Structure 1
Amino acid sequence: MRRAEPADGPDATLLDAKGPRKPGLAAARRPASASLHRVVWRWHFYAGLFVAPILFVVAATGAAYVFRAEIEDYAHARLRFVAPGDSRLGARAIVDAAQSAHPGMKPSALELPADADRAAIVRFGKGPVAYVDPYRGRVLGSTDPAQVDGLAAFFDVVLSIHRQLFLGSVGRLVVELSVGWTIVLLATGLYLWWPRKLGQAAGVWRPRWRAKPYTILRDLHAVGGVYMLAPALVIVVTGLFYTLVWSEAFHLLTRDRGRRPVAETAATPPSDPSRPALTLDQIEVLARARYPGRSLAFTLGGEADRGWEVQAANDYNKSYGPYVSARFRLDRLDGGLLSHATLAEDERYWWHGWAYPLHVGSVLGPATKVLWFLTCLVLCALPATGVWMWLKRRPRGGSGFPRRPERDVPRGLLVAIVVMAIALPVVGLSMVLIVLGERLVGLARAA
């Protein structure tokens, strides 16, 4: 049997056109649990009302972006993938092959993916990007950054909408407000769903398909939300790290928590200028010995006294764990380590290695990406079905807003609201504005 719901709960007709009713004898006898349920229901309603349009847009763009890497790989498979051979060519041979296809141009960077079936990439500054078969030295083709890649441009637009709604800092604040209220929405939704008997299946763990259309939709809303609650919370909470106010506050609170800023140690000039410098192939061997199994990126054509600049990282789109990245410089004469810094040591973005794979679903590879995609679809459906149910049950001529509780807010819930308002400052500010708005509306009605 499901939890008995008060008269103004999710299944009842909401506020009438005349506004809140005066508490009577029945209200005075109503147990505190009913008052708690009413408070939670009110905040769930407000959260859904505020979040609905923005959450739909953010979730839809998130779903569209989840498989960006896979879609682009498929679209550009001719350039990005090769048939593995018996042995790889050295780094210098790969660069020379790319340069032969672009005579007169100076290469600026070389990327050697860790995957055996991936092509090597040679960049020519702001010019073309050449893809080279690392086994046969054959140039597969080149792309020109000056020419618009329609697929990449599409995903860039999707990402811009997802992060800031095309509104810059204002859009980031709106998205942050939506993210914070979504946490409130999920928490209150779990409370409203929680039944007296978890063994009850119909309407709790599965929809009642033979019921009235409204009941079926409500069950889909509740059951879908509870099944996807865990991944939804992971997506939403990790999304806070990329917001405007919350991320800055988090940085201020954690910047002195034993993390050290990324620092570059100055390279000492070569003691023996006549000594020959190490070749690119030798630097590659040293880098692979230091970071086996990682993709390597070399900066080419830098100043001789600064050493070889190298980045070693895993593929953040299929990391099967955290995204790991290290930048270091090797002495051009003896290969000694001149500087070294990892993402985990970065003062500001040390959390990115875990937050990003968890946010986009790449933490366990394709399986979690599929789950994250489905969760985004559910997050699209929740506000849509919630708004539909509100409009369906709204009384004619009334707003349909839930009535205020006739008892004082339970102290425990009040503490939880205050803690959430502090933990989510943008949400906390909006809560204050909501309370002030209600008071003003009440004063206006009393006048």
Structure 2
Amino acid sequence: MESRASATPRRAAAHRTIWRWHFYAGLFCLPFVLWLAATGAIYLFKPQIEARLERGYENLAVDGAPAAPREQVAAALAAVPDATLNAYELPRTPQSAVRVLVGRGSELTRVYVHPQTAQVLGAIREEDRFMRQVFRLHGELMLGPRGSWLVELAACWAIVMLATGLYLWWPRAARGLAGIVYPRLGAGGRTFWRDLHAVTGLWVSAFALFLLLSGLPWANFWGGYLKALRALGDGAVVEQDWTTSRAEERARNLAANTPPAGHEGHAMAASGPQALQGTAGAAYAELDRLVAPVASLRLAPPVLIAPPSRAAASWTARSDAANRPQRVNLTLDGERGTIVRRVDFHERPLLDRIVGTGVAAHEGQLFGWPNQLLGLLTALGLAMLSVSAATLWWQRRPAGVLGAPPPSGTRVAPGLIALALIFALLFPLLGASMLAVRLLEALLLRRLGATRRFLGLADAR
């Protein structure tokens, strides 16, 4: 049996190793955490922001019967040359502008059409919409796949930071709850910042870990890793309800924007606005028969009706609700104007339901405004965690060096190695970065005198 005397140095060495990883994890990911907290806090209020931005397309003057859906689609297609219908969105009220998504190649344009006169009131590329820009800033820093990898890497290191922080926080000889469950705000100085950091970390960690984990299925690398594992288990390519990269999203758009074989150019062969209206009216006459039966189901908005394409052989409709458990997919018979098949959220594969529920909570839409408030408080907590961490580091940082906790000087415990391997298997990008850091430290950084001293590696053995 291991003696208490020998166990204490080993625990101290493990504590120092974990503290060191906590420090470097924070050093790398804190700027990203602040960025994700800020952009995520904005995205939480997407419904309210979009409603405000599009208020000019609501409460329109309507004094008669609405135009036929095919006429509204024809007007939208006339506004975007060489486009095809991607989806027709059911108007939420009789006074709402009709949103028509038209596609050209892999691009989508949202056209706003007056429901009665079929006059085009405005148009904007989907990628140019404000909340779409926030989505790109949040998920990929507007850098495409490289930005997605950076955000994913930062999220993985943030998980390490939170897990190691909870270990360091764990009270071992505490007297009372002060400094553990609530901060000693009147203590001042370093104690104030230490309590603010530790207590905020305690209360925010569970929610922050949930946000980090629920966002990973959308990440380029980890999402692709998950999809590959699913395909390996199912023996086929898995069609998911979410995309993991801009390229995959564009490919889906292209398929949905491409008419099925034998119908190419059905909405593009016309040579002028009047001819286009006749062509589109003939091609999309079935839409008129589908709007009423789909609207009668009162699905959670927005509800999109899409024509046959290379993505789907028949007419389809779907609820694209932000609260994903409310989503429904329909297969339609355009000739008869009937619903052929309905798939509700609870009928989807288990993993899709888990991810969908997690994403709805991640975006603040699962249980209304309390979900938004919880997300906002978590974002503010992460910002407080980052600011207090930077302040603590600055206060204790010796002159001329980074101020990282020194290495323990002993071999890493097998338990920590096993834990690192588990993390590497769960998060391959994290594992690759950990290996890269270890090799960089062993092969280069320790050989450079000034760098070794600055990073606190001088005493390592």
Q: Judge same fold: TM > 0.5, yes or no.
A: yes
Match of 1:202 among 178, 187, 195: 178
Paired position in structure 1 for 2:321: 315
- Residues 260 and 345 of structure 1 are in contact (CA less than 8 Å); yes or no, is this contact kept in structure 2? no
Report how far residue 51 of structure 1 moved: 0.9
**AA in 2 matched with 1:379:** L
In structure 2, what is the equivalent of residue 182 of structure 1?
158
Pairing 1:439–2:442 present: yes
Deviates more, 1:175-184 or 1:121-130: 121-130
For 2:302 and 2:186, the matched residues in 1 are separated by 55
How far residue 381 of structure 1 moved from its aligned partner, in angstroms, is: 2.9
Partner SS for 1:357: helix
1:41–1:110 distance in 2 versus 1, CA, 3 Å: same
The equivalent of 1:66 in structure 2 is 44
In the alignment, the residues of structure 2 paired with residue 100 and residue 173 of structure 1 have an alpha-carbon distance, to the nearest angstrom, of 41
Q: 1:247 to 1:147 in 2, by over 3 A?
A: closer
Aligned residues of 1:261 and 1:346 also touching (Cα < 8 A):
no
Deviation at 1:29, TM superposition (A): 7.9
Q: Secondary structure at the match of 1:144?
A: strand
Amino acid at match of 2:315: E
1:129 is matched with 111
2:206 matched to which residue of 1? 230
Q: 1:241 aligns with which of 207, 217, 232?
A: 217
Shift in alpha-carbon separation, 1:203–1:290, aligned structure 2, 3 A = same
> Whole-Å Cα distance in 1 between the matches of residues 95 and 17 of structure 2?
56
Residue 254 of structure 1 aligns to a residue whose secondary structure is helix
Q: How far apart, in 2, do the equivalents of 1:48 and 1:391 lie?
A: 13
SS of 1:226's partner is: helix
Structure-1 residue corresponding to 2:364 = 361
Distance 1:208 1:282, change over 3 A: same
Q: Deviations over 1:105-138 (max 9, x none)?
A: 999453225x6698352428478733557xxx58
Cα distance in structure 2, aligned partners of 1:281 and 1:210? 68
Distance 1:48 1:389 in 2: 12
Q: Give, in whole Å, the separation in 2 of the partners of 1:180 and 1:432.
A: 14
2:44 partner letter: V
CA deviations 1:356-398 (Å, max 9, x no partner) are: 2132121112211121122122223323321221121012233
Aligned with residue 291 of structure 2, among 284, 289, 306: 284
Higher relative contact order (CA 8 A, sep 6+): 1
| TM-score using structure 2 length | 0.71
The equivalent residue for 2:121 is 142
- SS of 1:211's partner is coil
| Structure 1 residues 337-358: Cα deviation after superposition (integer angstroms, max 9, x where no partner) | 2x77778759997765234213
CA contact 1:63–1:373 (8 Å) conserved in 2: yes
Query: How far apart are residue 415 of structure 1 and its match?
Result: 1.0
User: For residue 218 of structure 2, what is the amino acid of its counterpart?
Assistant: Y
Q: Percent identity?
A: 29
C-alpha change, 1:165 and 1:111, in structure 2 (3 Å) is closer
Once the two structures are superposed, the pairs formed by residues 33-432 of structure 1 within 5 Å of their partners are: 33-80=11-58, 93=68, 108=85, 109-112=87-90, 119=96, 121-123=98-100, 125=102, 129-130=111-112, 142-145=121-124, 152-153=129-130, 155-196=131-172, 200-258=176-234, 261=238, 280=287, 282-288=289-295, 295-299=302-306, 309-316=315-322, 319=323, 322=325, 324-333=327-336, 335=338, 337=340, 353-432=356-435
Shift of 1:148: 10
Task: For structure 2, list consecutive stretches of 5 or more residues without a partner in the other structure.
Answer: 104-108, 240-254, 262-283, 450-457
Query: Aligned-pair distance for 1:82?
Result: 7.7
Q: Distance in 2 between matches of 1:257 and 1:291?
A: 36
Cα offsets for 1:274-320 (capped at 9, x unmatched):
xxx996565334335667556532346x79xx98623221521xx2x
Deviation of residue 402 (structure 1)?
0.9
- State the SS of the aligned residue for 1:392: helix
Higher alpha-carbon deviation: 203-212 or 74-83: 74-83
C-alpha contact 1:294 1:312 (8 A) present in aligned 2:
no
Distance 1:104 1:415 in 2: 60
Judged with a 3 Å threshold, the aligned counterparts in structure 2 of structure 1 residues 289 and 307 are, in CA distance, closer, same or farther, namely farther
Residues 94-115 of structure 1: per-residue CA shift (max 9 Å, x gap) = 66689799999999453225x6
User: In 2, distance between residues paired with 1:103 and 1:178?
Assistant: 45
Q: How many angstroms does 1:32 deviate by?
A: 2.9
Give 1 or 2: higher helix fraction.
2
Residue 334 (structure 1) shift: 6.4
Gaps of 5+ in 1: 1-26, 268-276
Give the superposition deviation at 1:158.
3.0
How far apart, in 2, do the equivalents of 1:118 and 1:200 lie?
61
Work out the number of aligned pairs and report it: 397
User: CA offset at residue 93 of structure 1?
Assistant: 4.9
Contact 2:72–2:113 (CA under 8 A) maintained in structure 1 = no
- CA distance in structure 2 between the aligned counterparts of 1:421 and 1:386, rounded to whole angstroms: 25
